[in-house]
Chain A
Amino acid sequence: MSKDRSMVLQKEMIGDHFDRLERAPETGQKVVYTFVPGNLTELIRSFDALPLLPEINALQSGMRQKSRGYIAEAEKLGHSEDVCTYVKCDIGMAKTGNIGPTGTRLPKPDLLLLSYTGCYTFMKWFELLREEYACPMVFLHVPYQGDGEITPEQREYMVRQLRDTVIPALEQVTGNKYNEEKFRAAIARSHRMEDDLVSVLHSAKKRPSPVDAYFGGVYYIGPIFSSFRGTAEGEAYYRALREEVEERAALGWGPETPSGRLDNQKYRLVVEGPPNWTSFNDFWKMFSDEGAVVVASSYTKVGGTYDLGFRHNPDDPLGTMADYCGGCYTNRNLPGRIDMLVDYVREYAADGFLINSVKSCNSFSAGQLLILREVEKRTGIPGGFVESDLVDPRYFSAANIKNRLESYFQMLDARRSPGAPGELHAK
């Protein structure tokens, strides 16, 4: 597959980051393990510490065909076949030398920063890693949007924990004092990165869409969801990405896909759920071969719902972190998720709505069948449903998924034919 300039740039950034991580034991830079949803990257980096995200390692291991062995290793050690494969992939990697996805050795954590945002498994994951690494752990409890909002009391609760628990833990581990000016400057950079990312995501409203907001989208969110939010490299990346996408849009080009550049876009889809990583390109090709482009997705909002208007605010550094954590996609209740997906279908003029339900992730998967019905009911467009897993290749049945997708696209075609019942476009 032909690579965009931004993809190459991102690969270099990630490579550099993993090199710094590998050298951390010599350079003395402290390493903080944390998670994507609710990550506090600007805060971590303001202490000159390096973030390391086990989910990213797991998904990269999946893409590089290493996860099968890691999962087998963890299951051999007694981890259940029923639980999250990200966790098992990470544990298996740790138990077999902790060689990261880019081939460099990963350092042990100096601190486990557990931001409990939208996923119960995170808590258990870090309890397990604490057993492995015998290092300190700090917990930020992010209340869930059970009633569809974060209340002032919940916000204050998060701010209090950040101020009284998380910052002192970072001070203790790094030996550096909290530097609010440095933190604010990073947040201001994040704000600008978020503007550029949203511009890229919104470009999918064009026809043809110059981006694929799911398969391509996972590349676009990579830096901002992981270690680069608030950094100068991150800001440069998003500026370059935005320019690249604007250029493509001006030329009337579609995104680069495994089937080549997708200018002729037959189906515009909204997709809910994480992708499969072990067969990522094969999965994407099943869409692009059929001329299907994803114009909006929920997965690209797990690390922040910037397209709904949220921006980090340097004038209120701790409050804005609380707002950010509370607003991540999986921290939203099901009615909120349904509203968001229905809005996507309408705003992006989608022809179809598809769920990729992954076995590993109850945070996403529990309730998806209801989401499917509700989105169908409220938009009038047909929904599709496929099942796979994050990084366990045993749960990716290519023939089965391809069959389902082909049937789904045929159904969309049938609804396009004159006199067909129902309407194709969103109401």
Chain B
Amino acid sequence: MKRIDIVAEARALYEDLDLQSVKRWMAGAPGRKAVGYLPVYAPKEIIHATGMLPVGVHGGGDQLEIIRGDAYYQSYICHLPRSVVELGLSGRLDCLSGMLFPSTCDVIRNLSGVWQVLKSGMYVRYLDLPQGQDLDAMVAFWASDLKILHQDLARVAGVEVDAEALRASLALYNAVRETVRALYAARRDTPERVPSEELYLLSRAGEVLPPESFMALAEAYLECVRREDVPARDNSRVVVIGAFCEQPPLGLIKTLERAGCYIVDDDFVLGNRMINHPVSLDGDPWMALSDALVRDAMKSSIFYEADPTGKKRLVKERAAAARADGVIFAAASFCDPALLDRPMLRAGADAAHVPSISFKYSENSGQFQQFREQAGTFSDAIKLWGGR
């Protein structure tokens, strides 16, 4: 498969707001169902273990005209919930048999209640991800919640709860995360060969494709990357931090790279690699999945940071791991997790002498000139005066 075809397929999936690909998958065999989830992290393994397709619902981006969604949200609330409501009220999500709302922030939490009222026939669940410092209590709590979720979803799917099926799903999603990491590693090592636009489209494809199909597509892409030689540009290497929930428009990602910044790490679609290492396949699978999230999740603004120095160290560590020259703090407007974290992260960047800039965007931002100028100036400054 050629790179151009792979990217075209991923782009078509990204633009498929009507979830035609999900409907095609459902039509592939009788009784197939799909369950949606909001950002940032949802246990896709549980959905998959019931035979249903996990479907990431990441809003309408800049492709969706908001007609009804604005009537549900005030101007000082981020854009994502209004586009999700728009998708819901326009019937685009009707093929989903359930929706999961993780505890990303108060807006997504309350959106679960909005959904309970607007879609009273649908299975709707708020996922209270474990927070805190008593790790054993958190593991026990989340494992028990995963079991309840599993029972509920099995009922929706019309199957029995099956620990072996869950183990198989754990193994499969271990492989998915491995694939995602391979994509990220390829971009980190050779950003000239892996434009962030393409990586992002592949990541989004992974949110709607069955895991096996996603891995095949990603492997084919990596094969092209290995095969094709692309000259490196004199770009700065940056990490983009803060865009983990409401996603930036594709044009913004392209703009950053065109302005002279190779994105060598980011928070986009963060849930697809939230767990760092393979989930154990031994013992109780719910406990194993819970343990992995509690003890081995990536650092993120959506989780409590128990280590008092953790926030300060994070930017330095991420920049070092990605061999980045600088950091771009990009947060959706009115995004509490990202914007409340920003002063702490920025202080860490300053203390570690990691240059940074910051801006806000909305998923439907249509003008990129200001971002181009800001990122271009940042890149030039790094080249002139040095980065990390």
Q: Given A141-B131, A334-B116, A365-B77, do A157 and B109 touch, yes or no (CB 8 Å)?
A: no
Instruction: Give chain A residues whose Cβ lies under 8 Å from the Cβ of B138.
Output: 141
Q: Is A4 interfacial (CB 8 A cutoff)?
A: no
| Cβ contacts A102-144/B at 8 Å (1 or 0 each) | 0000000000000010011101110110110010011111011
Q: Is B372 interfacial (CB 8 A cutoff)?
A: no
Q: How far is the CA of A165 from the CA of B137 in the complex (A)?
A: 10
Instruction: Give chain A residues whose Cβ lies under 8 Å from the Cβ of B141.
Output: 141, 143, 153-154, 157
Q: Is A20 interfacial (CB 8 A cutoff)?
A: no
Instruction: Give chain A residues whose Cβ lies under 8 Å from the Cβ of B366.
Output: none
> Which residue in B112, B134, B301, B306 is a CB contact (below 8 Å) of A333?
B112
Within 8 A of B (CB), among A370-401: 370, 374, 387
Q: Is A359 interfacial (CB 8 A cutoff)?
A: yes
Residue of A119, A120, A134 with highest tally of chain B CB at under 10 A: A120
Q: Is B285 interfacial (CB 8 A cutoff)?
A: no
Q: Name the segment of A28-36, A50-58, A74-82 touching the other chain.
A: A74-82
Q: Is B337 interfacial (CB 8 A cutoff)?
A: yes
Q: Is B212 interfacial (CB 8 A cutoff)?
A: no
Within 8 A of A (CB), among B117-132: 117-118, 125-128, 130-132
Instruction: Give chain A residues whose Cβ lies under 8 Å from the Cβ of B116.
Output: 333-335
Instruction: Give chain B residues whose Cβ lies under 8 Å from the Cβ of A116.
Output: 131-132, 304
Task: For B331, give the chain A residue with the smallest CB separation.
Answer: A80
Would you give the shortest CB distance from A89 to chain B, in whole angstroms?
A: 14
Q: How far is the CA of A165 from the CA of B107 in the complex (A)?
A: 29
Within 8 A of A (CB), among B65-113: 71-74, 76-77, 81, 101, 103, 105-107, 109-113
> Which residue in A87, A124, A147, A334 is a CB contact (below 8 Å) of B114?
A334
Q: Name the segment of B156-164, B232-240, B341-349, B376-384 touching the other chain.
A: B341-349
Q: Is B276 interfacial (CB 8 A cutoff)?
A: no
Instruction: Give chain B residues whose Cβ lies under 8 Å from the Cβ of A121.
Output: 106, 336, 340
Is B132 touching A120 in the complex (CB atoms < 8 A)?
A: no
Q: Given A80-B342, A335-B113, A367-B111, do A362 and B311 touch, yes or no (CB 8 Å)?
A: no
Q: Is A146 interfacial (CB 8 A cutoff)?
A: yes
Q: Is A236 interfacial (CB 8 A cutoff)?
A: no
Task: For B333, give the chain A residue with the smallest CB separation.
Answer: A82
Q: Is A84 interfacial (CB 8 A cutoff)?
A: yes
Q: Given A334-B117, A365-B76, do A123 and B133 touch, yes or no (CB 8 Å)?
A: no
Q: How far is the CA of A363 from the CA of B106 in the complex (A)?
A: 5
Q: Is A357 interfacial (CB 8 A cutoff)?
A: yes
Q: Is A98 interfacial (CB 8 A cutoff)?
A: no
Instruction: Give chain A residues whose Cβ lies under 8 Å from the Cβ of B336.
Output: 83-84, 120-121, 124, 362
Q: How far is the CA of A116 from the CA of B132 in the complex (A)?
A: 9
Q: Is B368 interfacial (CB 8 A cutoff)?
A: no
Q: Is B360 interfacial (CB 8 A cutoff)?
A: yes
Task: For A166, give the chain B residue with the smallest CB separation.
Answer: B134
Is A161 touching B134 in the complex (CB atoms < 8 A)?
A: yes
Instruction: Give chain A residues whose Cβ lies under 8 Å from the Cβ of B369.
Output: none
> Which residue in B77, B308, B331 is a CB contact (below 8 Å) of A362?
B77
Instruction: Give chain B residues whose Cβ lies under 8 Å from the Cβ of A164.
Output: 134, 137
Would you give the shortest CB distance from B153 to chain A, in whole angstroms?
A: 14
Q: Is A368 interfacial (CB 8 A cutoff)?
A: yes
Q: Is A170 interfacial (CB 8 A cutoff)?
A: no
Instruction: Give chain A residues whose Cβ lies under 8 Å from the Cβ of B137.
Output: 157, 160-161, 164-165
Q: How far is the CA of A86 from the CA of B172 in the complex (A)?
A: 45
Residue of B106, B107, B334 with highest tally of chain A CB at under 10 A: B106
> Which residue in A83, A144, A161 is a CB contact (below 8 Å) of B340?
A83
> Which residue in B81, B112, B308, B334 is a CB contact (below 8 Å) of A146?
B112
Q: Is A411 interfacial (CB 8 A cutoff)?
A: no
Q: Is B339 interfacial (CB 8 A cutoff)?
A: yes
Would you give the shortest CB distance from B176 to chain A, in whole angstroms?
A: 27
Q: Is A232 interfacial (CB 8 A cutoff)?
A: no
Q: How far is the CA of A370 from the CA of B336 in the complex (A)?
A: 21
Residue of A140, A337, A357, A367 with highest tally of chain B CB at under 10 A: A367
Instruction: Give chain A residues whose Cβ lies under 8 Å from the Cβ of B113.
Output: 333-335, 337, 367, 370
Instruction: Give chain B residues whose Cβ lies under 8 Å from the Cβ of A335.
Output: 113, 116-117
Is A357 touching B339 in the complex (CB atoms < 8 A)?
A: no
Is A127 touching B132 in the complex (CB atoms < 8 A)?
A: no
Is B304 touching A370 in the complex (CB atoms < 8 A)?
A: no
Instruction: Give chain B residues whose Cβ lies under 8 Å from the Cβ of A157.
Output: 137, 140-141
Q: Is A366 interfacial (CB 8 A cutoff)?
A: yes
| Cβ contacts B268-308/A at 8 Å (1 or 0 each) | 00000000000000000000000000000000010011101
Instruction: Give chain A residues whose Cβ lies under 8 Å from the Cβ of B140.
Output: 157, 160
Is B333 touching A78 in the complex (CB atoms < 8 A)?
A: no
Instruction: Give chain B residues whose Cβ lies under 8 Å from the Cβ of A40.
Output: none
Q: Is B21 interfacial (CB 8 A cutoff)?
A: no
Q: Is A44 interfacial (CB 8 A cutoff)?
A: no
Residue of A79, A143, A164, A374 with highest tally of chain B CB at under 10 A: A143
Give me the interface of A with B, judged by CB distance under 8 Å: 77-80, 82-84, 87, 116, 119-121, 123-125, 127-128, 130-131, 134, 137-141, 143-144, 146-147, 153-154, 157, 160-161, 164-165, 333-335, 337-338, 357, 359, 362-363, 365-370, 374, 387
- The contact sample of 9 A-B pairs, CB cut-off 8 A, is A127-B344, A131-B344, A146-B128, A153-B144, A157-B137, A160-B137, A366-B81, A367-B110, A369-B74
Q: What 13 additional pairs, Cβ within 8 angstroms, besides A139-B133, A144-B128?
A: A77-B343, A82-B76, A120-B106, A127-B304, A127-B340, A146-B126, A160-B134, A359-B76, A362-B106, A363-B110, A366-B110, A369-B74, A374-B117
